[in-house]
C-alpha cells in the first residue's frame, strides 16, 4: 500500500481531459518500478467511461466518485473527496495536472493534509527507492531535483505534456468510492460563457477593413496535443498577421500558438498562449514567427522536437535555441512557405 501511485483524472462536465491519460500512464509506470499498485481517481459525471480510458493506460484500479456536485462547485468537494480517499488508502504519491483544475485541488489538498507538494514537474523517476522529481528552472537551463521530506503521501503537479500517454491496454478494477462530497462553503459554477464565449475563443480581432478575423474551428483546439505548432509573436505587427499564421497552420495541419506579447496586445485569445504562464507544448515541429524567444516562452516550447524560427532581428534570443533560424521578413516568407507546402501536399 505504501508504494501505491495514483493519478487524479480531470473530468469536467463528463469530459476527460487529455492530461489525465498522461498522468495515468506515468502512475502505472512508477508503480511497476516501486512494486506497488497504480490507480486513478475520477470525480464527476461519466466516470465509468473515464475509467475505461484510464485503464487503457495501465492503471490497475480506478476510484470513481460519480456526482454532479463536482461539476457545480469549485475545489472544495474535490479536495474533500480526495483527502478522505488518501487518508484511507495512503498512496505514496498522487500525480495531479499542473492545470487550473489541478492547481486548485492540489493547493487545497496540500494544506488540508499538510502534504509535500512539488509543482512544475517535468520528470519523475524512482532512484534508490525514492521518488525523485525534476523541475526545470531558469527557462529550462537548469534541472532542479527534488524529493519529499516526510513519509506521508506526496503530491506532484506535472507540467502538461511532461509525460507521454501510453495505451498499454488493461481493464481496471472499478471501485465506486467515495460517495460524492458536500458542496462546501459555496464557490458555485453558474454556467459557461456559452456561445458568446466559444466564439470569442476563435476571434482574432479586426482586419484593417473592419471585418472580424476568425480562426477556423480546426485550428482552435488541441494545441497541447498538436504535432506541429505555428506560433506568432509581436513581430507579426497586429491581429491581421495571425491570418498568415493561420493559413500556414492550415496548410500544415498544425495548431496556432502565440507568445505572451501577442496575447497581451489583444491580437489572439489567451487560449493560444504558449509559455510559462500559458500552455506547454511538445510538438514534433514548432515554428516560431516573429517571436523573440524570452525564457518565459522557451519554458513552454523548449522541449519541442524541432524548432524553426523566423524573425527579422538577427539578435533575437530564439536563434540561440533553434534548429533552423531564418533571418527574414515574415510577410514574404510565411505566405511563400504556405504556397510551397500546399503545392507539395497537392503533388504528393
Partner 1 sequence: MKIVVCMKETLDTTKEKRFGPDMRLERPKENAIINPFDEYTIEEGLRQQEKHGGEVIVLCMGPATATDTIRRALAMGADRGVLVTDPALGGSDAVGTARVLAAALTRIGYDLAIFGSAAADAYGGVVPAAVAELLGAPLLSWAGKLDVDGGTARIQRQADIGTQTAEAPLPALVSVVKAINDPRYPSMKGIMQSKKKPVDTMTLADLGLAAGQAGADGAGERVLGATAVSMQRKGEMYLGNEGAAQRILDFLIEQKVL
Distances in whole angstroms, Cα of residue 320 to Cα of each of 16, 215, 256, 292, 324 = 38, 31, 23, 10, 10
| Region binding partner 1 by CB under 8 A among candidate stretches 30-38, 41-49, 86-94, 305-313 | 305-313
- 10 is a site residue for partner 1 (CB under 8 A): yes
Query: Does 297 sit behind a cis peptide bond, omega within 30 degrees of 0 on the bond before it?
Result: no
Distances in whole angstroms, Cα of residue 186 to Cα of each of 44, 69, 76, 88, 189 = 17, 11, 8, 26, 9
310 to 339, contacts with partner 1 by CB under 8 A?
310, 314, 319-329, 332-334, 336-337, 339
Burial class of residue 75 in the structure, from the number of CB atoms within 10 Å of its CB (0-12 exposed, 13-18 middle, 19+ buried): middle
Q: CA 8, 14, 16: angle at the middle one, nearest 5?
A: 45
Strand, coil or helix: what is 133? strand
Question: Cβ(254)–Cβ(226) under 8 Å?
Answer: yes
Cβ distance to partner 1 smaller for residue 206 or 345: 345
How many residues bind partner 1, per CB under 8 A? Answer: 96
Q: At closest approach, how far in Å is the CB of 195 from partner 1?
A: 11
CB atoms within 10 A of CB 192: 10
Cβ distance to partner 1 smaller for residue 15 or 206: 15
- 53 is a site residue for partner 1 (CB under 8 A): no
| Region binding partner 1 by CB under 8 A among candidate stretches 21-29, 57-65, 161-169, 340-348 | 340-348
150 to 179, contacts with partner 1 by CB under 8 A?
150, 154, 157
- Distance between CA atoms of residues 126 and 58, nearest Å: 18
64 to 103, contacts with partner 1 by CB under 8 A?
74-76, 79, 99-101, 103
Q: At closest approach, how far in Å is the CB of 267 from partner 1?
A: 14
Cβ distance to partner 1 smaller for residue 164 or 189: 189
Query: What are 270's three cell numbers?
Result: 489567451
- Distance between CA atoms of residues 130 and 217, nearest Å: 45
112 to 151: interface string for partner 1, x by CB under 8 A: x-xxxxxxx-----------x---xxx-xxxxxxxxxxx-
Of positions 167, 206, 217, 264, contacts partner 1 by CB under 8 A: 264
268 to 287, contacts with partner 1 by CB under 8 A?
270-271, 276-277, 284-285, 287
Q: What is the per-residue DSSP string for 32-51?
A: HHHT--EEEEEEESSHHHHH
Residue identified by cell 503521501 is 153
Query: What are 167's three cell numbers?
Result: 495505451
Cβ distance to partner 1 smaller for residue 60 or 286: 286
Of positions 5, 8, 16, 17, contacts partner 1 by CB under 8 A: 17
217 to 246, contacts with partner 1 by CB under 8 A?
228
Cβ distance to partner 1 smaller for residue 68 or 147: 147
Amino acid at each position: 500500500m505504501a508504494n501505491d501511485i495514483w493519478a487524479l483524472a480531470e473530468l469536467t462536465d463528463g469530459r476527460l481531459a487529455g492530461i489525465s491519460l498522461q498522468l495515468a500512464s506515468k502512475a502505472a509506470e512508477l508503480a511497476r518500478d516501486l512494486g506497488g499498485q497504480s490507480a486513478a481517481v475520477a470525480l464527476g459525471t461519466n466516470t465509468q467511461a473515464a475509467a475505461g480510458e484510464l485503464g487503457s493506460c495501465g492503471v490497475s484500479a480506478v476510484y470513481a466518485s460519480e456526482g454532479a456536485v463536482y461539476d457545480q462547485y469549485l475545489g472544495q468537494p474535490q479536495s474533500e473527496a480526495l483527502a478522505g480517499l488518501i487518508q484511507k488508502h495512503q498512496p505514496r504519491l498522487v500525480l495531479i495536472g499542473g492545470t487550473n483544475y489541478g492547481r486548485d485541488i492540489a493547493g487545497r489538498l496540500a494544506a488540508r493534509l499538510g502534504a509535500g507538494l512539488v509543482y512544475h514537474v517535468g520528470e519523475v523517476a524512482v532512484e534508490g527507492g525514492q521518488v525523485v522529481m525534476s523541475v526545470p528552472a531558469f527557462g529550462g537551463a537548469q534541472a532542479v531535483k527534488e524529493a519529499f521530506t516526510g513519509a506521508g503521501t506526496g503530491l506532484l503537479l506535472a507540467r502538461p505534456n511532461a509525460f507521454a500517454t501510453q495505451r498499454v491496454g488493461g481493464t481496471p478494477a472499478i471501485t465506486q468510492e467515495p460517495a460524492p462530497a458536500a458542496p462546501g462553503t459555496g464557490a458555485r459554477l453558474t454556467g459557461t460563457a456559452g456561445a458568446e464565449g466559444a466564439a470569442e475563443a476563435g476571434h482574432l480581432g479586426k482586419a484593417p477593413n473592419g471585418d472580424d478575423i476568425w480562426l477556423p474551428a480546426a485550428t482552435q483546439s488541441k494545441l497541447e496535443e498538436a504535432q506541429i505548432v505555428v506560433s506568432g509573436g509581436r513581430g507579426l505587427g497586429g491581429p491581421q498577421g495571425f491570418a498568415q499564421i493561420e493559413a500556414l497552420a492550415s496548410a500544415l495541419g498544425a495548431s496556432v500558438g502565440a507568445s505572451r506579447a501577442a496575447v497581451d496586445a489583444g491580437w489572439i485569445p489567451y487560449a493560444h498562449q504558449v509559455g510559462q504562464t500559458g500552455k506547454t507544448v511538445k510538438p514534433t515541429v514548432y515554428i516560431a514567427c516573429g517571436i523573440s524567444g524570452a525564457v518565459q516562452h522557451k519554458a513552454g516550447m523548449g522541449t519541442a522536437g524541432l524548432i524553426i524560427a523566423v524573425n527579422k532581428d538577427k539578435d533575437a534570443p530564439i536563434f540561440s535555441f533553434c534548429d533552423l533560424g531564418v533571418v527574414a521578413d515574415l510577410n514574404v516568407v510565411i505566405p511563400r512557405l504556405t504556397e510551397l507546402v500546399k503545392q507539395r501536399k497537392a503533388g504528393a
